[in-house]
Structure 1
Amino acid sequence: MRREDKGDSYVKKRFSIWFGVLFVIYTLLIGWYLFFGANTELPNVYKGTSADPATFMNARQLELSHEFSRIKSLIYFVSIPLEWGIYLFVLYFGLSRVFRNWSKGISRFSFVQIAIYVILLMCINLILTFPLDYINYQVSQAYEISTQSFSSWMKDLFISFWVSNLFMILTVFVIYFFMNRKPKKWWLYAWLLSVPFTVFMMFIQPVVIDPLYNDFYRLEDKQLEEKILSMASRADIPAERVFEVDMSEKTNALNAYVTGIGSNLRIVLWDTTLNTLEDDEILFVMAHEMGHFVMHHLYFNLFASIFLSLIGLYIGAKLLKWAVARYGEKWGVSGINDIASLPVLLLIFSLLSFLVGPIENAVSRSAENDSDVYAIEMTEDPEAAIGAFQELTINGLSEVNPPGLVKFFRYGHPTMLERIHLLESYMPKEKEKMKAPSN
């Protein structure tokens, strides 16, 4: 065996051992924290209140909610380093170099080469993450959150795979096009082109992407639709109809949302929400979603996404240049404009996304809290609001007071403890005026 081959074999072996050991230690520590170390006992001040799960969940539901929430969180925390490990595996074992050579051997056109490379890379990712995805699906089935058949789940998985591939191919082609022509400022040109694309995607999402996964149709309950549209009119939301989406074939969880911009704006209710909640509870949920629109959270999210993508591309460009300069020869990557450098770039973006995630969650929790306040002021029905959140907790087996680390990394909404307590302590302004002493 040549010295180069021995050195390459040593690097692969060393990477495999170190990553495997660290991954196992990390998984054990996270598991211990979630199931044993985290203190999630309800503070005494909340016991006996509407936020106390013991007041609206039976002992079995409490047990299931604890188990389900912890298992789902464990899967989430394990999936993060697994994604990073896949990118490093592709680099250290020379698969990125092999994929590049195959794609160049098949076609001389750069777009075709990139398409072939991306599909091969995403296939590796699909294969290596499938066991965890399947476990995630089985857990939801076992706890009766998911009602989706395996064939339907696989169909959604492959739709996501090919939709993601399409957008990935277009994105990667643009990035590497500018890398070849503007190597120092590629990140800026790529960002400038991404802005109209991001807006366009937000516009077509409700009418093109979402219907690939579910059937949407006009709300059959005309009386309820009239009430919702009346609220929308009061909120100056230009909606002419309310859509119902058939989710009961896939889940028992509840949801509703207002999405899209311009003429493609849609008010959507899951049929599971319609089948579970009372009308006044549904009206509170819809008022909450309308609050996001009224307070321009949709546009804030759009502008924040555009701004963060600029920062991410800039930092990504600097880190990619450094990583390729230092490890490129070992990985078989000739330069930043070599398509074989894509796993490095994806790894960098994934790391940056993970780091900024808690900040995004904190901002999102604040926006959700504002929408809760908006909804309760619009409906003036705290009892219905509390009932809606209690049902959401039961049907989704949500943990009312999750571990701190889980809230920090996973919660884009306030905890149910915080949300129900807010509603319980809320006193409408009209009642405050009634209690105020007259002069």
Structure 2
Amino acid sequence: MTPFDLLAAAAANPGFDVETATRAYLDTLQGAARAKSDAYFEGGYWLGLWGTVIGVLVDWLLLRFRVTHAVRAFAERRSQRRAFAVWLTALAYLALSTAITLPWAIYTGFLRERQYDLMNQGFGGWLGELAISFALSLVFVPLLIMAVYAVIRRAPRTWWLWATAVVGAFAFAAMVVSPVYIAPLFNTYTEMEAGPLRSKIEAVAAKYDIPADHIYVSDASKQTKRISANVSGLGPTIRITLNDNLLNRTSEPEILAVMGHEMGHYVLGHGFRNVAWLLVVFGVCFFLVSVIAPRLIARYGERWGVRELADPASLPVLSAVFSVCALLATPAINTLIRTAESEADAFGLEAAREPDGFASTAMRLSEYRKIEPGPVEEFLFFDHPSGETRVRMAMQWKKDNVPGAEVVRPPAGYLDR
């Protein structure tokens, strides 16, 4: 649409008030439902802090009782290969830290989700999936740690830069293989049935040259009540996926609005861009580790049984420092992701042309996202635009692009579907 078209549309809608239209949606979430949503999201502000504190405490315990020192010494008695010592130390570190923090994982991942009525899954199913995730981490994380320690040994001054590149390579590989080999371990993916809705999704994809030979539906309802969709993979693994909650709980305009948003991530290259920016953050954190960790080891290394940074027994030191740096970088990470999400929102409105569907979806996400935060609160803690921001964007788009637009007042209770 040209600037002249925008002016014409705006002139054609002098009676359409964006604030009134926005408030009509926001006011559908009131009373206990809004208090519950706010409490869930605000409680999450503390989870990152306490999770970091618990993680650092675990690292300190492993150092205080010289656990990684003992594992590394055992590995060196069995083999002269440094890679074996790193691998075994990483394996033991993952197993012990996971076991110690299991109560925290149960609270944050299961009990709290059940408390706020966001989970459909029983404890046995949830624990089984946690075991699958743990098994995968035992396979892949030690490989990543081995690569990081290899570059520490070979480039002691610039290892932080090479470690960032290593993380980037692992992230790229994960983007390629995850949709085909990892995601099916947790959910069943079936081809979306042919019909008018699929044809409309394919039409939107075709406008932007998005491969749509396969559109999958995942059975996420066995785990959660959340609605979701994505365009994932790279090259031959690219696929469009929406979960069954989106199909069963929302209307066609809402589904098309969500799919337009997700296609925006693909067209705008957010997968690569987000990884690139996150690697910048990782690089800064690794650099800080390269400065702080050696000083800690110089002061406490003998007490911990850690000889140097390249000693795999130093793994808890690296982990603790990196965790604190990552926590401090949370606002920057949130801003990077939130910016991409806002761009995808704008793209999705143009692609699907369903502003009321988009606004309705933004309100549905209020089940677990605070709908009207303050500006500082949104900057610090939101990795997506708030519901208020999204609804207002949709209503502004409607005013600018839909001749004769009228304020829609959603029916009471529509969010309960």
- CA separation in 2, counterparts of 1:397 and 1:192? 35
Q: Which runs of 5+ in 2 are unaligned?
A: 1-16, 406-417
1:187 corresponds to 2:160: yes
- CA separation in 2, counterparts of 1:182 and 1:374? 43
Of the three residues 413, 424, 432, the one matched with 2:384 is: 413
- CA separation in 2, counterparts of 1:221 and 1:271? 15
Following TM superposition, by how much is the alpha carbon of 1:169 offset from its aligned partner in structure 2, in angstroms? 0.8
1:314 corresponds to 2:287: yes
Other-structure match for 1:271? 244
270-279 or 78-87: bigger deviation: 78-87
Structure 1-normalised TM-score? 0.81
Find the residue that maps to 1:268 and give its secondary structure: strand
Other-structure match for 1:62? 34
Is the Cα–Cα contact under 8 Å of residues 50 and 420 in structure 1 kept in the other structure? Answer: yes
Find the residue that maps to 2:319 and give its secondary structure: helix
The one-letter amino acid of 1:80's match is T
Find the residue that maps to 1:284 and give its secondary structure: helix
Other-structure match for 2:357? 384
1:355 corresponds to 2:337: no
1:198 corresponds to 2:165: no
Is the Cα–Cα contact under 8 Å of residues 380 and 428 in structure 1 kept in the other structure? Answer: no
Of the three residues 359, 363, 372, the one matched with 1:401 is: 372
Q: Which has the higher contact order (CA 8 A, sep 6+)?
A: 2
CA pair 306-57 structure 1, distance change in 2 beyond 3 A:
closer
CA RMSD in angstroms, aligned pairs only: 2.7
The one-letter amino acid of 1:101's match is A
Is the Cα–Cα contact under 8 Å of residues 358 and 394 in structure 2 kept in the other structure? Answer: yes
CA pair 69-196 structure 1, distance change in 2 beyond 3 A:
closer
- CA separation in 2, counterparts of 1:88 and 1:67? 32
Following TM superposition, by how much is the alpha carbon of 1:386 offset from its aligned partner in structure 2, in angstroms? 1.1
Other-structure match for 2:62? 90
The one-letter amino acid of 2:178's match is Q
- CA separation in 2, counterparts of 1:52 and 1:84? 46
CA pair 73-193 structure 1, distance change in 2 beyond 3 A:
closer
Of the three residues 34, 56, 75, the one matched with 1:103 is: 75
Is the Cα–Cα contact under 8 Å of residues 365 and 387 in structure 2 kept in the other structure? Answer: no
Other-structure match for 2:100? 128
Show CA shifts across 1:387-427 (max 9, x none).
1212222xx34321246675344321011111112212334
- CA separation in 2, counterparts of 1:68 and 1:278? 26
CA pair 123-380 structure 1, distance change in 2 beyond 3 A:
same
Of the three residues 288, 292, 295, the one matched with 2:268 is: 295
Percent of pairs with identical residues: 26
1:240 corresponds to 2:240: no
Is the Cα–Cα contact under 8 Å of residues 373 and 386 in structure 2 kept in the other structure? Answer: yes
- CA separation in 2, counterparts of 1:81 and 1:53? 39
276-285 or 215-224: bigger deviation: 215-224
Is the Cα–Cα contact under 8 Å of residues 285 and 375 in structure 1 kept in the other structure? Answer: yes
Of the three residues 369, 393, 396, the one matched with 2:342 is: 369
Q: Which runs of 5+ in 1 are unaligned?
A: 1-44, 435-439
CA pair 417-430 structure 1, distance change in 2 beyond 3 A:
closer
Following TM superposition, by how much is the alpha carbon of 1:279 offset from its aligned partner in structure 2, in angstroms? 0.9
Other-structure match for 1:422? 393
